[in-house]
Amino acid sequence: MSPQGGQYLNKAAVFSSLGAARLSQLALGCSVVAMVSHSAGYSGGSYGVFCMAVWCACFGMTTVVFFLDATRLHACLPVSWDNLTVAFAALATLILGGYPVYFVRAECPYGGCEVRNFRIAVTVCSIAGSLAYGAEVILSRAKPGRVVGYMATVSGLLKVVQGFVACIIFGALANGTEYSRHVATIYCVVVYAVCFAMTTVVVILTVSGRTGCLKLPFDRFVVVYTLLAVLLYLSASVVWPVFCFDRKYGSPERPSSCPRGRCPWDSKVVVAVFSFVNLALYVADLVYSQRIRFVTQQPRV
């Protein structure tokens, strides 16, 4: 073996704070997948299957990230590695921290209390995994005097959260919100779709390292797009509640005959609440995006 062979392995992938966070992600992800497969009864419904798919995807992606980082093979990929890893870690933090809570039931399901106990253990490990991914985000995020990718900045991380919140809105829209009854609510859906698509484009361009293909400077493009998203979400946040909860168009109170979990009125409330959440996120994004633009324009000393 060549005495220089050691340089091909990245010891920092293991013996560092970031390496420890990823090893914790692997251990917790493996534990979750094993317990769910063993006796958590995930196949009892579509939601359980979805959770299992998310756990497997996160565990698989973390395995690939750890392997490529340890072997330095990520340098062969046509992507911006730092942007890719922090964007994935931020998304995994959000997904693993929220979905498993709905996977747990206080009562014992058909499989007995053993299934419930396994589900509790799975939820605990999944939330711990979310914290491990959150630790990676904190370790990778932008700090004063440190050069990092766009996704490691506050603005970049907010892009991931905005996309996640938009997915929650789409899920509620698909749960019988009856948005097609009014042109105004259809407009709101178009707003959600356009903003989500543009946010996705920004993330893809950043992760793939193709921001240079834009005709505008990337920082200016982000500011212009975010301002447009703020205006669109502001209009949707006003129009949606009016046409869903005003007595002229909808119902301001929850119908007593509406079934729990399948009530269009509940879905409309979810859309309204998360519309305001995303509006606040885009406003915060605009502030930080403008700040980044000013910093990049400072003259050299």
Q: Where does a domain end: 140, 156, 191?
A: 140
Structural tokens at position 7: 């340089």
Residues 202 and 163 placed together within one structural domain of the fold: yes
Same domain, residue pair 166 and 154? yes
Residues 19 and 84 in one domain: yes
Question: How far is it, in rounded angstroms, from Cα 250 to Cα 266?
Answer: 13
CA distance 264 to 237: 18
**Per-residue pLDDT, 300:** 41
Q: How many CA atoms lie within 13 A of 260 on its CB side?
A: 0
User: For 223-260, b where at least 16 C-beta lie within 10 A, e where not — what string?
Assistant: bebbbebbebbbebbebbbebbbeeeebeeeeeeeeee
What residues of the chain score a pLDDT lower than 50? 1-5, 293-301
What pLDDT score was predicted for residue 283?
Answer: 95
| pLDDT given at position 76 | 87
Number of domains comprising the chain:
2
Contact 37, 49 (CB under 8 A): no
Residue 40 within any structural domain of the chain: yes
Task: Tell me: do 73 and 167 sit in the same domain.
Answer: no
**Enclosing domain of residue 31:** 8-140
If one counts every other C-beta atom within 10 angstroms of the C-beta of residue 211, the result is: 18
In a domain, 171, yes or no: yes
- The rounded distance, in Å, linking the Cα atoms of 218 and 169 is 28
Residues 63 and 172 in one domain: no
Token pair of 194 as six digits: 């356009």
Which of 84, 109, 140 finishes a domain? Answer: 140
Confirm whether 300 is domain-assigned: no
Last residue of a domain, one of 140, 155, 184: 140
Question: What is the reported pLDDT for 20?
Answer: 93
Residue 105 pLDDT: 64
Residue with tokens 């293991």: 14
pLDDT reported for residue 88: 94
125 contacts: CB under 8 Å, gap ≥ 6: 28, 31, 32, 35
The answer to whether residue 80 is domain-embedded is: yes
| DSSP 8-state secondary structure symbol assigned to residue 77 | S
By the 8 A CB rule, do 28 and 128 touch?
Answer: yes
Say whether both 134 and 151 belong to one domain.
no
Is residue 2 included in any domain, yes or no?
Answer: no
Q: Contact, 187 vs 246, CB < 8 A? A: no
User: What gap in Å lies between CA 208 and CA 77, rounded to an integer?
Assistant: 9
Residue 271 CB coordination number (10 Å)? 26
The Cα angle at residue 212 between residues 211 and 216, in degrees rounded to 5? 90
